Amino acid sequence: MRPYVEFETEELLELHRSLLMQYKEYQARDLQLNMARGKPCVDQLNLSMGMMDVLSGNCDLLCEDGTDCRNYGVLDGIKEAKVLMADMMEVSPDNILIYGNSSLNIMYDTISRSVTHGVMGGTPWAQLDNVKFLCPVPGYDRHFAITEYFGIEMINVPMTEDGPDMDMVESLVANDPAIKGIWCVPKYSNPQGYSYSDKTVRRFARLEPAAKDFRIYWDNAYTVHHLYDDEQDHLIEILAECKRAGNSDLVYKFASTSKISFPGSGIAAIATSHNNLEDIRHQLSIQTIGHDKVNQLRHVRYFGDIHGMIEHMRRHADILRPKFELVEEILEKELGGLGIGSWTYPKGGYFISFDAPEGCAKAIVARCKKAGVIMTPAGATYPYGMDPHDSNIRIAPSYPPLSDLELATSLFALCVKIEAIRSILTARGVSISSANSRNGVNFPHA
């Protein structure tokens, strides 16, 4: 294939008419496919059904230390669950605090506490004239939604294959005391699937922020979510690296079992320094007497230990891997060499990041929707939903069955071609609708 920009105008017009005919055929199929979010599919959910049987009305609900999980108490989480989550998060159980079912909820609480009561005795952010956050882009829309909700100014930081642009991060953090944090998905990042390099993690641990209450929000959501046994990304453990750098209090590390067991019914945890934990416990002791210990025990009894969890995640990978490879194969077959898009090849996580020609993302997503395929809204991977290049599209292969995924990805590639040709012709000053009219062709939605 040769790049579309090398096509003559008449070639592009003819190709565009042919592609629109294919598009109308898709529309006639009345598709209803959804690739909007990274949800586990039914087969993945079925992997955890045995968890429903590990506790029954006749079994004992006592922990190893005699704690009765049916009753109040144990603010930090039961010991066995702390060990399981600590092994998953690669930290000491002493640095773990177990919450409820959602790491996103912990992040929200952490921001909210900082706004109303400050960080470790610091000035509450609500009393400051301006509070800012750094946001690696493209990134996770729900992170950005939290900081936007609290009126925090968000600053875009470009992502590279090694992680955020650390020259920019270091300069901004060192010179602006209004910058209080940075969102990070350090392993198999959302949406690109990049993992931070060793050098990037070490530079994070050695940041010298102007704000004493600056924290790194290290959302290690995909820590054990590999697609391949023999090709896995590895990440330096940030808490240990911060301790080595003399910056023990610099980071909050988050994780959950939401895409390991049952989304919405898993267990979530924060790992951080002892000083930070004391600050968090003070608020948490007012908020709750303790989280769901029965659910914590259920997870421990089902997985047994980290080795059981890793084996469980291999079964997840066996379901997800063919889906990612199918999407990558179709994109390469349909778009490779055309010069109208690029995409990532992640080794884990839940997403593939696609970059369309500038100014085309919204049109591509809208065209997919008209033919019955729902994608993540264009712009969602940027703060305020505003992609300055209107280029990035997040592809979520996990939820649809393979047959639906093949249809949806093929349609997506078709829409990319249609909108890319429109963009090229527009840049040449050619109106597609006028050209079609001259040729007696009527495509009202061209």
Q: Check if 4-44+311-438 and 61-304 are the same fold.
A: no
Q: What pLDDT is attached to residue 132?
A: 98
pTM: 0.95
DSSP for 429-440 reads T--HHHHHHHTT
Q: Which CATH number fits domain 4-44+311-438: 3.10.20.30, 1.10.287.110, 3.90.1150.10, 3.90.230.10?
A: 3.90.1150.10
Strand 132-137 versus strand 179-184 pairing type: parallel
How far the first Cα of the chain sits from its last, in Å, is 24
Query: What digits encode the pLDDT tens for the residues 318-338?
Result: 999 999 999 999 999 999 999
What is the rounded distance in angstroms from the CA atom of residue 46 to the CA atom of residue 51?
10
- Per-residue pLDDT reduced to its tens digit, 414-446: 999 999 999 999 999 998 876 665 555 455 455
Tens of pLDDT, residue by residue over 51-107, are: 999 999 889 999 999 999 999 999 999 999 999 999 999 999 999 999 999 999 999
Task: Using 70 as the pLDDT threshold, list the residues of the chain that sit under it.
Answer: 434-446
pLDDT of residue 432: 81
pLDDT for res 444: 46
Q: What share of residues in the chain are helix, strand, coil (percent, to 5)?
A: 45, 15, 40
Beta bridge pairs of residue 353 = 394
**Total Cβ atoms within 10 A of residue 246:** 9
Phi, psi (degrees; rounded to nearest 5) at 85? -70, -35
**Structure token digits, residue 201:** 């993690």
What is the token pair recorded at 198? 């060793």
**According to the model, what pLDDT value does residue 37 have?**
87
Measuring CA to CA, how many Å separate 366 from each of 340, 369, 402, 419, 427? Answer: 17, 5, 23, 11, 21
Q: Which CATH architecture has domain 61-304?
A: 3-Layer(aba) Sandwich (3.40)
Instruction: Kindly list the domain boundaries of the chain, sorted by start residue.
Output: 4-44+311-438, 61-304
Q: Is 263 exposed, middle or buried (0-12, 13-18, 19+ CB in 10 A)?
A: middle
Site of tokens 């750098």: 245
Q: Using CA atoms, how far apart are residues 256 and 269, in angstroms rounded to an integer?
A: 6
